[in-house]
């Protein structure tokens, strides 16, 4: 009979690192159902989601590490996904005739209440939100993050839009995330540190996750990234009022949220829902930004209000929140986003760039009202009297 012990196997697996968390498989609690039958060893590696990066490589490394143990003849490594919805389903109470009840909407797993700040090194955490897609929310998030950094602030940009991560393209960064200090190392460009699922699942790969897995990814981007000390953590949220928004409001004390809309009624209706959502979870709304507010013809300088005009300002008055500004519709914004050179970088003196910079100053004024004790540093940064 072999003398292989469970401790021997776990010690070997302790040398295999999970690149996402920066920890080894044992410390990450990913090794499950370890069994030793004479010289045969089998175990399961549990991943958080079905599209976990480098799954095959991790399994190969784990198998190789255990195979090197003296006395091991055969190693079987399987994998599985830890799906919270399956756990809820299996634990649901039984109804009549012993049939398990189907989990209805009221049985959907709820995120735990906020118990800690998962981003304690960020002085101000600002969420960029929208009630619907297609209003330019990521464009606003990217340009505001850069504008804040250009004025001397230490800025992180977290892409929480798991299903549609556009930050990598707009920032012109297509590298993969690495590790630093046993955590995920954010990538940097234009003075902004950033993370995105787009740096992990690249190309045309679709992210097909249930809601709780989105929440887990948001939490991981908060607590498992080596952000360092930040003045601002700007978070680009997905459109709507779903799992990512709920997780974020419970995981960190948000300084406030900015709601992006366009002037047409359908966008403003959804923007109002976003404002109401943040108020229900007691997150301050720093203001409303009206994107694609108007178009100025480059040939005749005539102003055209393509999507109506003034709706954002009216909504801000209705909800008694600040109106942060209007961003005109300009083809250079689209070109810069596609080429990875946001407008505040490619054309810093343009009217659009100046609009973003004014909004950045307005944001600074809003957050310093929320935290007067910290306002001195950032007032010096923005030279605000």
Are both 45 and 127 inside the same structural domain?
Answer: no
pLDDT of residue 317: 82
Q: Is 174 helix (H, G, I), strand (E, B) or coil?
A: coil
pLDDT of residue 344: 94
Structure confidence by residue, pLDDT tens digits, 258-298:
999 888 777 677 778 888 888 888 888 998 998 887 777 77
In a domain, 246, yes or no: yes
pLDDT of 363 over the 60 cut: yes
In this structure, are residues 47 and 53 in contact, taking their beta carbons and an 8 Å threshold?
no
CA distance 143 to 216: 27
Q: Grade residue 53 by pLDDT with cuts at 50, 70 and 90.
A: low
Share of the chain above pLDDT 90, in %: 32
pLDDT of residue 213: 81
In a domain, 86, yes or no: no
Work out the average pLDDT over 316-332: 85
Are both 339 and 285 inside the same structural domain?
Answer: yes
Structure confidence by residue, pLDDT tens digits, 57-95:
899 999 999 999 998 999 999 988 764 333 323 333 333
pLDDT of residue 217: 85
pLDDT of residue 328: 85
CA distance 156 to 185: 12
Are both 147 and 64 inside the same structural domain?
Answer: no
Structure confidence by residue, pLDDT tens digits, 99-120:
333 333 333 334 444 445 888 8
Q: Is 53 helix (H, G, I), strand (E, B) or coil?
A: coil
Q: Which of 242-246, 312-316, 358-362 has the highest mean pLDDT?
A: 358-362
> Which residues make beta-bridge pairs with 308?
306
Lowest mean pLDDT of 44-48, 119-123, 266-270, name the range. 266-270
pLDDT of residue 379: 40
In a domain, 87, yes or no: no
pLDDT of 384 over the 50 cut: no
CA distance 214 to 220: 10
pLDDT of 380 over the 50 cut: no
Q: Which of 51, 81, 111 is the last residue of a domain?
A: 81
Are both 186 and 285 inside the same structural domain?
Answer: yes
Task: Spell out a b/e string for 262-295, using b for 16 or more CB atoms within 10 Å of the CB, else e.
Answer: bbeeebbebbbebbebbeeeebbbbbbbbbbbbb
CA distance 347 to 267: 28
Q: What is the CATH number of the domain that holds 47?
A: 3.30.300.130
pLDDT of 193 over the 90 cut: yes
Share of the chain above pLDDT 70, in %: 80
CA distance 304 to 348: 23
> In this predicted model, which residue has the larger pLDDT, 373 or 319?
319
Residue-averaged pLDDT of the chain: 80
Work out the average pLDDT over 233-246: 85
Are both 323 and 225 inside the same structural domain?
Answer: yes
pLDDT of 2 over the 80 cut: no
pLDDT of residue 271: 78
In a domain, 200, yes or no: yes
Report DSSP letters for 88-100, one per residue: HHHHSPB-GGGPB
pLDDT of residue 191: 95
Are both 167 and 310 inside the same structural domain?
Answer: yes
> Which residues make beta-bridge pairs with 76?
42
Are both 47 and 142 inside the same structural domain?
Answer: no
Structure confidence by residue, pLDDT tens digits, 148-188:
999 889 999 999 988 888 999 999 998 888 888 888 999 99
Are both 67 and 149 inside the same structural domain?
Answer: no
pLDDT of residue 333: 87
CA distance 24 to 197: 21
Are both 137 and 252 inside the same structural domain?
Answer: yes
CA distance 164 to 198: 8
> In this predicted model, which residue has the larger pLDDT, 116 or 358?
358
pLDDT of residue 148: 94
In a domain, 100, yes or no: no
Q: Which domain holds residue 221?
A: 122-382
pLDDT of residue 273: 82
> In this predicted model, which residue has the larger pLDDT, 115 or 311?
311
Q: What is the CATH number of the domain that holds 315?
A: 3.40.50.300
């Amino acid at each position: 009979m072999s003398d292989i012990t469970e401790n021997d196997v776990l010690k070997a697996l302790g040398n295999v690192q999970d690149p996402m968390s920066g920890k080894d498989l044992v410390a990450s609690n990913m090794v499950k159902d370890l069994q030793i039958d004479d010289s045969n060893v089998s175990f399961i590696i549990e991943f958080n989601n079905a599209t976990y990066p480098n799954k095959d490589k991790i399994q190969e490394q784990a198998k190789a590490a255990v195979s090197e143990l003296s006395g091991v003849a055969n190693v079987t490594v399987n994998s599985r996904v830890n799906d919270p919805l399956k756990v809820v389903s299996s634990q649901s109470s039984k109804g009549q005739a012993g049939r398990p009840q189907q989990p209805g909407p009221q049985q959907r797993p709820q995120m735990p209440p906020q118990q800690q700040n998962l981003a304690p090194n960020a002085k101000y955490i600002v969420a960029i939100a929208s009630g619907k897609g297609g209003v330019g929310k990521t464009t606003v998030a990217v340009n505001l993050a850069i504008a804040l950094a250009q004025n001397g602030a230490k800025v992180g940009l977290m892409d929480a839009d798991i299903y549609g991560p556009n930050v990598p393209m707009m920032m012109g960064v297509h590298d993969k995330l690495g590790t630093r200090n046993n955590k995920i190392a954010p990538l940097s460009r234009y003075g902004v540190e950033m993370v995105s699922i787009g740096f992990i699942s690249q190309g045309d790969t679709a992210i097909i996750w249930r809601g709780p897995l989105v929440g887990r990814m948001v939490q991981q981007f908060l607590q498992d990234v080596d952000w360092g000390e930040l003045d601002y953590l700007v978070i680009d949220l997905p459109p709507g009022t779903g799992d990512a928004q709920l997780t974020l409001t419970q995981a960190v004390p948000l300084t406030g949220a900015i709601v992006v809309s366009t002037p047409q009624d359908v966008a403003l209706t959804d923007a109002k829902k976003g404002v109401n959502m943040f108020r229900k979870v007691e997150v301050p709304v720093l203001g409303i930004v009206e994107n694609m507010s108007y178009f100025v013809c480059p040939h005749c300088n005539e102003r055209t209000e393509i999507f109506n005009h003034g709706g954002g300002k009216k909504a801000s008055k209705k909800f008694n929140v600040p109106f942060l500004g209007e961003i005109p519709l300009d083809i250079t914004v689209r070109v810069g986003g596609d080429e990875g050179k946001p407008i505040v970088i490619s054309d810093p003196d343009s009217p659009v760039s100046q609009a973003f910079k004014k909004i950045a100053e307005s944001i600074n004024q809003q957050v310093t009202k929320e935290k007067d004790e910290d306002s001195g540093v950032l007032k010096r940064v923005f030279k605000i009297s």
